[in-house]
Structure 1
Amino acid sequence: MDDMVDVGCLMLATMTPELQKQHENMVAYEMIQNLKDIYEGQARQERYETSKALFQCKMSEGSPVGAHVIKMMGYIQTLEKLGFALNDELATDVILQSLPDSFIQFVMNFNMNEINKTLPQLLGMLRTAESNMKKGGSKSVLMVRVAKEKGKKVAKSMGSGKTKPKGKEALKPKGGVSKDGKCFHCGKTGHWKRNCPIYLEDVKKAKAVGASVSGTAHEKDSS
């Protein structure tokens, strides 16, 4: 009885004035039962509201991932205080499921590699992934892969064609330019044979002479 009186006095000393008035005529056991009746229903309602907010929490596309994850971690900590703690794996799954489609590659890699992280470590990883996405990191990786695949295809197509000339044949000049850089027709430097004004003039004159000769022959045949 002495211990019960001491505990009752201690409980009353820690209560607010309103609760003291309600429990001043009760013993310790009666106080405990009355407090349970008052607050257990409230705790159950709080647990329901907190778990509902946690499982329905979804991050909108473009919003900062840090604020979103911190809010969800707050819900998880509240549930733990209410006596319904989530283990790290389940809490991680709930957070990953709340992310938008822009994080789908991150979630796939996380699950495929079976990464085990605490919630603060997961928060750091998500912030890093968000920073890389803003810089276009995922797009750059995709572009690099596409470029490599295209390069392989081009190399394969070149290998299936004609082989390049080797040795002296590879050094053989083409297009009417001599080895010392002079035009084959006039002997001057600075242009190709096909662009040589003297060569072009000679070709023009040859065509004119050929046309006149063919015309004369035609007149003879008709006469």
Structure 2
Amino acid sequence: MAMKTLLTTKMVEETLVREHILKLMSLLNELEILSAVIDKESQVKMVLQTLPDSFQQFCLNYNMNKMDLSLVKLLNELQAAESIIKQQAPPATLMVDKFLSSTSKPKGEKK
């Protein structure tokens, strides 16, 4: 059951990356207790595959730079990336406000 959960888990965008990775680490520990042998590199690949599209650049950098991190170090790097991603993403309310202000002009007026 732990393996199925691990293979079908995907991180939801609003979830904190720390919560998600700790959940995966727990599943991996459970599998280890059940005598499953998954090498460190495979564990990291499994974790990276569960990340949402917002972490696509991180995954690309990880693979291009042939990084070799433990799960704990990966968690730290992902948390740093998460803070950068959150700073770059414009808040949804600003986007809605911009959209409404550009589409709410009376007909006949030039924008």
Interval of TM-score (by shorter of Structure 1 and Structure 2): 0.7 to 0.9
Q: Does 1:54 align with 2:1?
A: no
Q: Measure how far apart 1:85 and its partner are.
A: 2.4
Runs of 4+ in 1 over 6 A off after TM superposition: none
- Percent identity between the two aligned chains: 38
Please list every run of 5 or more consecutive structure 1 residues that lacks an aligned counterpart in the other structure.
1-48, 140-223
Aligned to 2:22: 70
**Aligned equivalent of 2:51:** 99
Which residue does the alignment assign to 1:115? 67
1:125-140, aligned counterparts within 5 Å?
125-136=77-88
Distance between the aligned counterparts of 2:45 and 2:76, measured in 1?
16
Q: Which is greater in Rg? A: 1
Q: How many residues align?
A: 90
TM-score (structure 1 length as normaliser): 0.39
**Distance (Å, rounded) in 2 between the aligned partners of 1:116 and 1:102:** 21
Q: Equivalent residue for 2:109?
A: none
Contact kept? 1:59, 1:100, Cα under 8 Å: yes
**Superposed displacement of residue 62, structure 1:** 2.1
Residues 65 and 130 of structure 1 are in contact (CA less than 8 Å); yes or no, is this contact kept in structure 2? yes
Query: How many Å apart are 1:61 and its aligned residue?
Result: 1.3
1:83 aligns with 2:21: no
How well do the aligned residues superpose, as a CA RMSD in angstroms? 1.4
Greater length-normalized contact order (CA 8 Å, ≥ 6 residues apart): 2
TM-score, normalization by structure 2: 0.78
